[in-house]
């Protein structure tokens, strides 16, 4: 996994972790502590998400290859599924973060890579 920052055209910065392997994509948020405001998980490639087994609601931002928001699912409750055929990757945020940060359809993101996280022992 990589640590990064994504900055949207609202100038809001989100500290994110980026998945790099099938196993990381498959486990999603189960590999991390509960999301906090200003944090997220970028799963790429990813056009569909489930929240089975989740303990809290999340916001989903589906992004195209240029990191533009093409679909938003706000407050997805546990034990649900979502799909975005036009999406290439999915940014998972704490519920309410998309609205709080002013991120909407068409918002443009810019990715800044920070570092690599070794989670091989998990």
pLDDT digits (tens), the chain, 122 positions: 788 999 998 888 999 989 887 777 766 666 666 888 999 999 999 999 999 888 899 999 999 999 999 999 999 999 999 999 999 999 999 999 999 999 999 999 999 987 555 544 44
pLDDT on residue 30? 61
* List of residues 6+ apart from 24 with CB closer than 8 A: 1, 31, 119
pLDDT on residue 32? 66
Q: Which residue's structure tokens are 């928001």?
A: 69
CA 13 – CA 108 distance, rounded (Å): 12
CATH, domain range 2-116: 2.60.120.1140
Rounded to two decimals, what is the model's pTM?
A: 0.87
* List of residues 6+ apart from 62 with CB closer than 8 A: 47, 69, 70, 71, 72, 73, 84, 86, 87, 89, 90, 91
pLDDT on residue 2? 85
pLDDT on residue 34? 80
Domains of the chain by residue range = 2-116
pLDDT on residue 122? 43
């Amino acid at each position: 996994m990589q640590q990064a920052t994504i900055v949207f055209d609202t100038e809001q910065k989100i500290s994110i972790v980026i998945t790099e392997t099938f196993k990381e994509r498959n486990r999603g948020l189960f590999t991390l502590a509960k999301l906090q405001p200003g944090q997220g998980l970028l799963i790429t490639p990813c056009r569909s998400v489930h929240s089975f087994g989740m303990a809290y609601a999340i916001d989903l931002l589906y992004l195209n290859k240029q990191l533009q928001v093409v679909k938003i699912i706000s407050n997805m409750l546990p034990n649900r599924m979502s799909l975005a055929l036009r999406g290439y990757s999915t940014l998972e945020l704490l519920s309410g973060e998309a609205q709080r940060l002013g991120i909407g359809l068409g918002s443009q993101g810019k990715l800044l890579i920070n570092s690599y996280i070794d989670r091989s022992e998990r």
